[in-house]
Chain A
Amino acid sequence: MFNSRIAIMVLAAVFSVGLMVSVPTFAAKSLTIKGSTTVLPIAQSCAEVFMDMHSDVNISVQGGGSGVGIASLIDGTCDIADASRSIKDKEKEKAKENNVRAYENVVALDGIAVIVHPSNPVDGLSVEQIKKIYTGGISNWNEVGGKKTKITVISRDSASGTFETFNELALDKERVRPDALLQASNQAVAQTVSRTPGAIGYVGLGYLSSAVKGVSVEGVEPTNENVINGSYELARKLFMYTNGAPEGIVKAFIDFVLGEEGQELVKKAGYVPLI
Chain B
Amino acid sequence: MYRIRERIYKGLFTLLAFASLIFLVGITLTLFIEGLPVFKEVGLFDFVFGKSWYPTYEPPDFGILPLILGSLWVTAGAVLFCVPVGVGSALFINELAGKRLKAVLKPIIEVLAGIPSIVYGFFGMVVIAPFIQRLLNLPVGLTAFTGSLMLGIMATPTVCSISEDALSFVPRSFREASLAVGANRWQTLTRVVFPASASGISTSIILGMSRAVGETMTVLMVTGGAAVIPHTLFQPVRPMTSTIAAEMGEAVMGSTHYHSLFAIGLILFVITLIFNVIAELISRRFRKKLGLGR
Are A and B part of the same complex?
Answer: yes
Please give the residue numbers on chain A whose beta carbons come within 8 Å of chain B beta carbons, in ascending order. 8-9, 11-13, 15-16, 19-20, 37, 63-65, 68, 149-150, 152, 157-161, 163, 173, 175, 178-184, 188, 191-192, 195-196, 198-199
Shortest distance between the CB of B186 and any CB in chain A (Å): 46
B259: interface (CB < 8 Å) = no
Partner of B226, one of A13, A20, A173, A180: A180
Give the contacting residue for B26; candidates A15, A37, A184; CB below 8 A. Answer: A15
Max chain B C-beta neighbours (<10 A), residue from A13, A37, A159, A179: A159
Chain A residues near B133: list those with CB within 8 A: 195-196
* Chain A contact residues: helix, strand, loop or mixed: mixed
Stretch among B41-49, B50-58, B98-106 lining the A interface: B50-58
CB neighbours of B250 from chain A (8 A) = 37, 63, 157, 159-161
**Residues of chain B whose beta carbon lies under 8 Å from any beta carbon of chain A:** 18, 21-22, 25-27, 29-30, 33, 52, 54-58, 66, 125, 129-130, 133, 139-142, 220-221, 224-228, 235-236, 238, 245-247, 249-253, 257
Tell me the nearest residue of chain B to A153, going by C-beta.
B226
Closest 6 CB pairs of A and B: A12-B25, A159-B250, A182-B225, A181-B224, A16-B26, A158-B56
Smallest Cβ-Cβ distance to A18: which chain B residue: B26
B236 to A, closest residue via Cβ = A181
Residues of chain A lying within 8 A (CB to CB) of residue B30:
16, 19-20
Residues A12 and B140 in contact, CB atoms below 8 Å apart: no
* B246 x A181 contact (CB < 8 A): no
B55 and A8 contact, CB distance less than 8 A: no
In the complex, what distance in Å separates the CA atom of A37 from the CA atom of B124? 30
Contacts of B236 in A (CB 8 A): 179, 181
* A108 CB to nearest B CB, Å: 19
Q: A16-B26, A181-B224 are in contact. List 15 more A-B contacts (CB 8 A).
A: A12-B22, A12-B25, A64-B253, A159-B249, A159-B257, A161-B250, A178-B52, A178-B226, A181-B236, A182-B246, A183-B225, A184-B225, A192-B140, A195-B133, A196-B133
Enumerate chain B residues within 8 angstroms of A181, measured Cβ to Cβ.
140, 142, 224-226, 236
Sampled A-B contacts (28; CB under 8 Å): A8-B21, A8-B25, A9-B25, A11-B22, A15-B26, A63-B250, A157-B225, A158-B56, A158-B57, A158-B247, A159-B250, A161-B250, A163-B56, A173-B57, A173-B58, A175-B54, A178-B66, A178-B228, A181-B142, A181-B225, A182-B225, A182-B226, A182-B238, A184-B220, A184-B225, A192-B140, A195-B141, A196-B139
Give B21's nearest chain A residue, CB to CB.
A8
- Contact (Cβ within 8 A) A150 B139: yes
A192 touches B142 (CB 8 A): yes
Closest A residue by C-beta to B143: A181
Least distance between A164 CB and chain B CB atoms (Å): 8
- Neighbouring B residues of A160 by C-beta, 8 Å: 250
* Given contact pairs A179-B226, A183-B225, A8 touches B22 in the complex (Cβ within 8 A): yes
Complex Cα distance, B247 from A155, in Å, reads 14
B55 A158 Cβ-Cβ under 8 A: yes
Q: Which residues does chain A contribute within 8 Å of B221, judged by CB atoms?
A: 188
- Report B-chain residues with C-beta under 8 Å of the C-beta of A199: 140
| A157-B238 Cα distance, complex, nearest whole Å | 11
Interchain nearest-CB distance for B10 vs A (Å): 15
Please, how many angstroms separate the alpha-carbon atoms of A163 and B225 in the complex? 15
Residues of B within 8 A of A182 (CB): 224-227, 238, 246
Contacts of A180 in B (CB 8 A): 226
Q: In the bound complex, do residue A157 and residue B247 qualify as a contact, i.e. CB atoms below 8 Å apart?
A: yes
Complex CA–CA separation, A158 to B250 (angstroms): 9
Q: Which residue of A lies closest to B220 (CB)?
A: A184
Would you call B246 and A178 a contact (CB within 8 A)? no
Alpha-carbon distance between A161 and B251 when the two chains are bound, in angstroms = 11
Q: For residue B220, which residues in chain A have a CB less than 8 angstroms away from its CB?
A: 184
Q: Do A179 and B139 contact each other (CB < 8 Å), given the known contacts A16-B29, A16-B30?
A: no
